[in-house]
Amino acid sequence: MRLDNIRQLGIKELRSLVRDPIMQALIVFAFTISVYSGATAMPETLNKAPIGIVDEDQSPLSARIVDSFYPPHFLPPVLITPAEMDSRMDAGLDTFALNIPPEFQSDLLAGRQPTVQLNVDATRMTQAFSGSGYIQTMISSEVAEFVQRYRGTAVQPVELELRARFNPSLTQTWFGAVMEVINNVTMLSIVLTGAALIREREHGTIEHLLVMPVTPFEIMASKVWSMGLVVLVSCAFSLVFVVQGLLSVPIEGSLALFLLGTALHLFATTSMGIFLGTIARSMPQFGLLLMLLLLPLQMLSGGVTPRESMPDFVQAVMQIAPTTHFVSLAQAILYRGAGLDVVWSQFIILVLIGTVFFGITLIRFRKTIGMMG
């Protein structure tokens, strides 16, 4: 009878979700448009940066420098006058403005050290930082080849053979797509379960449940399995049709094994969502609590930056967060093709964390139900 109650209450939650177009739109957006935009935006990669060049030398060397800027790192350079440098940058038309002075080539051949001016729009922080290094390297390379009258690299005493594993082309899309799916799994599982509880309180249906022959455990378990199932199905859809299909990102490992790990992760995060739902009295309050919880979970879990670069204290604290172990197993399975023999420890830890979170949330949920009664 208890299992039947959990099943029926879970179906009720799914029907409530079907009648909520806002939540449906959020789910669709999170696992389609959000994944695609997160994969293709590449915020930390120099991509199609606009550059204007003032060529006051008009020499073969300056022409070589101008021709060295091309996509995908830069847009084709725009030849401008000195008077246009500041105005174009003020208008946001150029991220970089390069000024090649007069007599640049002749000064260089005469043994003097001419100066090339580079103006950078530092409001575009990421491109300004990486782009300045790109431009310096490109100019130095072109000048060295022009002086040596030889295009090539000098023979080094030791040769480094570089082999990039798992992402040989160093394509940012491969990383961004999968991590966006992982982050959205955590976000939506917390949002859906917490919103489901608050929605019942706001609509008055929680009082109806109190007079029915159901226990707080059954009510909570029904929300966990129903909302977890929605996120799990959406995650599988996104990986197959958006990540593998639309973005052509290869998935190395077993999708079924990853979904099993996702289900264990959802066991913990849906419990966290219900816990926040018992604390918040309205959706705005729930949104503020979600910001306090979700940002640390995503930023410190190892999905954005390596955990090894974080302070030891942060690494120790984040061991109790399910996202830390979920990110670890997801990267191992989807990127490196790991099997159960590699990720079994993360699976066990997620079961333990989920059980603890479920138990703590159940105690809090019972007190909340008792206060309503």
Q: What is the CATH classification number for the domain harbouring 98?
A: 3.40.1710.10
Would you say residue 272 has pLDDT above 80?
yes
Would you say residue 44 has pLDDT above 60?
no
Residue 46, domain member (yes or no):
no
User: Residues 105, 193: one domain?
Assistant: no
Is residue 143 very low, low, confident or very high in pLDDT (cuts 50, 70, 90)?
confident
User: Residues 180, 296: one domain?
Assistant: yes
Residue 246, domain member (yes or no):
yes
Domain boundary, last residue among 92, 120, 148: 148
Question: Do 318 and 328 meet the contact criterion of CB atoms below 8 Å apart?
Answer: no
Residue 156, domain member (yes or no):
no
- The residue range of the domain holding 133 is 51-148
Residue 118, domain member (yes or no):
yes
Domain boundary, last residue among 148, 181, 196: 148
User: Residues 112, 221: one domain?
Assistant: no
Residue 265, domain member (yes or no):
yes
Domain boundary, last residue among 148, 176, 195: 148
User: Residues 173, 284: one domain?
Assistant: yes
User: Mean of the per-residue pLDDT values for the chain?
Assistant: 87
Distance from C-alpha of 198 to C-alpha of 201, rounded to nearest angstrom: 5
Q: 73-88: per-residue pLDDT in tens?
A: 888 999 999 989 989 9
Query: Global pTM?
Result: 0.77
User: Residues 238, 359: one domain?
Assistant: yes
User: Residues 128, 214: one domain?
Assistant: no
Q: 197-207: per-residue pLDDT in tens?
A: 888 877 777 76
Distance from C-alpha of 352 to C-alpha of 137, rounded to nearest angstrom: 51
User: Residues 143, 88: one domain?
Assistant: yes
Number of domains in the chain: 2
User: Residues 231, 304: one domain?
Assistant: yes
Residue 80, domain member (yes or no):
yes
Least confident of 198-212, 223-237, 346-360: 198-212
Is residue 295 very low, low, confident or very high in pLDDT (cuts 50, 70, 90)?
confident
User: Residues 95, 172: one domain?
Assistant: no
User: Residues 258, 352: one domain?
Assistant: yes
User: Residues 366, 315: one domain?
Assistant: yes
Predicted confidence at residue 51, as pLDDT, reads 92
Per the DSSP assignment, residues forming a β-bridge with 304 are none
